[in-house]
Structure 1
Amino acid sequence: MTNNTTDLAGHGQIGVPALRTVSIEDVTASLKDGWRDFLAHPGFGLFFGGIYVLGGFAILAFLNRIGAPWMIIPLAIGFPLLGPFVAVGLYEISRRRAHGEPVTRRGVLAQVFHQRERQLGWMAFVVMFIFWVWIYQVRLLFALFLGFKSFSSWDRFVDIVLTTPEGWGFLAVGTLVGGFLALVLFSTTVISLPMLAEREVDFVTAIITSIAVVMKSPVPMLGFGFIVGVATLLALLPAFVGLLVVLPVLGHATWHLYRRAASPL
């Protein structure tokens, strides 16, 4: 039986690696590597993706209970923003495969729980803050644009949003504000989270490094962010079930993109 030292082998590298320029080919290759990692260990992927499917069902049940089913849109969009923390297990699978280490249930879960003792935990505050800003700005815009409208059902809400000037304003401003918040979140986490899962650096340094990578290669990195956003939204449509596959593949792909951008290959 392996002990914790073996399970956590390969971690604890200190400092920030040299940054590389990311290309479109790197993004494509990372997505392909992510798909291969998922196919190699689908049970892990379905397990971690299943956490979000169940979370989506719980959110929908809660909103129906309080009579606010329309809130499923901002919550469903914002909920996967917390995905990178579940993705720690996916990062570990990709890391082990890249280093030829055995992928074991004990080892992967040990690494997930080990993050409680490391800087990745501080990133939870950053992500949760942005998530709550997202939710409150939706409610603020709702009050500003639709505060004097009344609706008692999902169909009524959709009708008001799509057929009234107030609804169009709500969608337009909400999309702009949401896009900005998504850009901030993506830029601060796309490299920092896998880096913190692998290396001993403080979370502020990791955030700065992540932003630096995006600024160094804006078109490929933002292209990857666009793919992540679109794939996640499409995965939400079939009653969250698409997240079972999409989130694991994107988690693995993020690790490989990090390795291409900010870590020796």
Structure 2
Amino acid sequence: MTTFHVMAGHDQMVARPAIRRIGIPDVMDALRRGFDDFRAKPSHYVFLSLIYPIAGVVLVTWSSGANMLPLIFPLVAGFALLGPFFAIGLYEISRRRERGMDASWRHALEVRNSPALPSILAVGAMLMALFIAWLVFAQLLYTSLFGPEPPQSLALFLASVFGSENGLLLMLAGNAIGFCFALVVLATTVIAFPLLLDRDVGAVAAIETSLRATLVNPVPVACWGLIVAALLVVGSIPVFVGLAVIMPILGHATWHLYRKIVVDEQR
């Protein structure tokens, strides 16, 4: 039965799982294993991941139709901040496949029965708070440079962004702020959700373990972050359709990255 031990694990103790040092080859191997998991039953995983392209199109359509053109890019880019949480079902499929269990797409919903569900939701709430904070910062930056009035049309908006000094400053500062938010998410959740699925250690321990994993393996984790960012850009170009393939591969690969970084106590 699910219990509400969020700060610590089921034994009320804050766990400190052991961390391994890994290299770039380990990151690439995790990505390869993620692709192998996807290739096992790709139709199921594409079905599960349709939420990403659909959500992307909805976000753009909504922001375009509500005089919120300045938030289109922040919404699309910031949506990736929530990716680690929305991929939770894919981690579960990889976990089951690793153990030789039935790994059909229905089992992605088994997360709802996880004893660590409150902790998972707590870390997910943290990501949502960061997502909202990013949107607030992005809006404040735009209004500080262009004023509170929304652009009258898409053409005028693009002209002001790409044809003025303030537009250049908006892009430079916006990307710098976005990078800081992405770095926080990467460092705090790189293996947090897979760890919670595997062990009910509590939200604090999961975040702290991700931070330690990042500090112990700064170059591999940075490489992983660059791979994720590059693949998300590629998947977003054709109207977000590519995310239906990219997201499951990254989700499964994240599970294998977790296995490489965190020492399994049962082995």
When normalised by structure 1's length, the TM-score is 0.89
Superposed displacement of residue 111, structure 1 = 2.3
Secondary structure of 1:232's match? Answer: helix
Superposed displacement of residue 112, structure 1 = 4.4
How far apart are the structure 1 equivalents of 2:202 and 2:81? Answer: 21
Q: Which moved more, 1:245-254 or 1:78-87?
A: 78-87
How far apart are the structure 1 equivalents of 2:28 and 2:46? Answer: 23
Hey, what does 1:221 align to over in structure 2?
Answer: 221
Question: Match of 1:182, as an amino acid?
Answer: A
CA contact (8 A) 2:33 2:253 kept: yes
Cα distance per residue 1:3-59 (max 9 Å; x no partner): x9xxxxxxx998443110021011000000011100102133212220111111221
How far apart are the structure 1 equivalents of 2:111 and 2:210? Answer: 22
Q: Which has more helix, going by share of residues?
A: 1
How far apart are the structure 2 equivalents of 1:240 and 1:166? Answer: 29
Hey, what does 2:43 align to over in structure 1?
Answer: 43
Hey, what does 1:154 align to over in structure 2?
Answer: 154
How far apart are the structure 2 equivalents of 1:149 and 1:167? Answer: 15
Q: Which moved more, 1:172-181 or 1:42-51?
A: 42-51
How far apart are the structure 2 equivalents of 1:92 and 1:166? Answer: 45
Change (3 A) 1:195 1:150: closer
Change (3 A) 1:86 1:148: closer
RMSD: 2.2
Hey, what does 2:182 align to over in structure 1?
Answer: 182
Is residue 195 from structure 1 mapped to residue 195 from structure 2 by the alignment?
A: yes
Is residue 211 from structure 1 mapped to residue 215 from structure 2 by the alignment?
A: no
Hey, what does 1:144 align to over in structure 2?
Answer: 144
Hey, what does 1:132 align to over in structure 2?
Answer: 132
How far apart are the structure 1 equivalents of 2:99 and 2:172? Answer: 46
CA contact (8 A) 1:186 1:225 kept: yes
**Residues 1-265 of structure 1 mapped to structure 2, 5 A cutoff:** 15-112=15-112, 114=114, 117-147=117-147, 151-264=151-264
Superposed displacement of residue 263, structure 1 = 3.1
Q: Which runs of 5+ in 2 are unaligned?
A: 2-8
Task: Report the count of equivalent residues.
Answer: 255
Question: Match of 2:244, as an amino acid?
Answer: L
How far apart are the structure 2 equivalents of 1:192 and 1:220? Answer: 16
How far apart are the structure 2 equivalents of 1:129 and 1:243? Answer: 23
Hey, what does 1:7 align to over in structure 2?
Answer: none
Change (3 A) 1:36 1:112: farther
Secondary structure of 1:200's match? Answer: coil
When normalised by structure 2's length, the TM-score is 0.88
Secondary structure of 2:121's match? Answer: helix
Cα distance per residue 1:203-257 (max 9 Å; x no partner): 1111111011111010111110011012112211111101101111101111100
Q: Which runs of 5+ in 1 are unaligned?
A: 5-11
Superposed displacement of residue 177, structure 1 = 1.0
CA contact (8 A) 1:22 1:221 kept: no
How far apart are the structure 1 equivalents of 2:93 and 2:16? Answer: 22
Superposed displacement of residue 97, structure 1 = 1.6
CA contact (8 A) 1:161 1:170 kept: yes
How far apart are the structure 2 equivalents of 1:151 and 1:118? Answer: 42
How far apart are the structure 1 equivalents of 2:63 and 2:125? Answer: 24
Cα distance per residue 1:158-203 (max 9 Å; x no partner): 2211221111111111111111111001110111111112111111
Superposed displacement of residue 134, structure 1 = 0.7
Hey, what does 1:9 align to over in structure 2?
Answer: none
Question: Match of 2:205, as an amino acid?
Answer: T
